Chains A and B, each alone.
Chain A
Amino acid sequence: MLDAGEMQLELVLRNELAEIDRLAEAVEAFCEKHAVPPDTAFHLNLVLEELVTNIVSYGYDEAEGRREIRVRLALDAQSIVVDVIDDARPFDPLSVPEPDLDASVESRAIGGLGVHFLRTLMRDLCYRRENGQNHLTFRKPLAEGDPAA
């Protein structure tokens, strides 16, 4: 029987972009250790980078100094459940409108793509603001045949 502690990853990141490296390495190592398919690991890394980059870039005032962003992964037989918790200003990613994916080069914008990746690649998205913190939870199915896997 597997030790439940081994099936979870908890990372505490500082609010700086340089932490993206540590995040990516930790997620990849976790996925390799538990034989999570490379495609799934790639999707997790992509979505987590987008979310953490948004929080670091837009979540805080410059004067707020060092803050912490918590990322938790919990793996079971069917899926990986991810929690992202921060004490940045209230922000519900699920309120972001879908980007126009058919726009031409000239009129194309980047805003909203990160949340679009989240919506496309993950399932059961849930946001709540609680005790002065943003909590975002979502699930990545592992089963083949699931369009989000």
Chain B
Amino acid sequence: MQINETMDGEVLILAVQGRLDSNTSKQLDEVLTNQIQSKPGVVLDFSGLEYISSAGLRVLLKGAKQGRAGGGKLALCCLSSHVREVFDISGFSSIFSIHDDRAGALVAVK
């Protein structure tokens, strides 16, 4: 898994590529936990994300909880149909701010 960090104004964009599974989720956990507390908004761009399991969902949920508890806003974009299906089955589609493109996600966290 690879995570590319870029800034759009004060918003941090994390572009995640590859597999977000029980073997790799710790990488995203470290970045997201640090950044969600210090940035007003974080966008996770999943256009390069091929796969996600509950270990990945766990990291996202932790980030969202930290965001609600005084950190930044979190939004997701560009989910593949496979990744989207995992969100739908787990009921996560309704608890995250999910957008078709990066522009929509940026608006949501600003």
Q: Interface on A for B, CB 8 Å cutoff?
A: 17-18, 20-21, 24, 38-39, 42, 45-46, 49-50, 53, 57, 99, 101-106, 108, 110, 113-114, 116-117, 120-121
B4 interfacial contact with A, CB 8 Å: no
Which residues of B are interface residues toward A (Cβ below 8 A)?
19, 21-23, 51, 53-55, 57-58, 61, 64-65, 68, 82, 85-86, 89-91, 94-95
- Do A20 and B95 have beta carbons less than 8 Å apart? no
Give the contacting residue for A105; candidates B23, B64, B89; CB below 8 A: B64
Specify which chain A residues have a CB less than 8 angstroms from the CB of B89 in the assembled complex.
Answer: 116-117, 120-121
> Are A50 and B53 in contact, CB atoms less than 8 angstroms apart?
yes
> Count of A-B contacts with CB under 8 A?
62
Residue among B23, B54, B65, B94 with the highest chain A CB neighbour number at 10 A: B54
Q: Can you name the residue of chain B whose Cβ is closest to the Cβ of A46?
A: B53
Name the distance in Å between B105's Cβ and chain A's nearest Cβ: 17
Which chain A positions have C-beta within 8 A of B85? 42
Please pick, from B22, B51, B58, B91, the residue contacting A45 in the complex, using a CB distance under 8 A: B51
Give Cα A50 to B86, complex, Å. Answer: 12
Residues B68 and A106 in contact, CB atoms below 8 Å apart:
yes
In the complex, what residues of A have CB within 8 A of residue B95's CB? 104-105, 108
A49 touching B21, Cβ below 8 Å: yes
Give every chain A residue within 8 A of B94 (Cβ-Cβ): 102
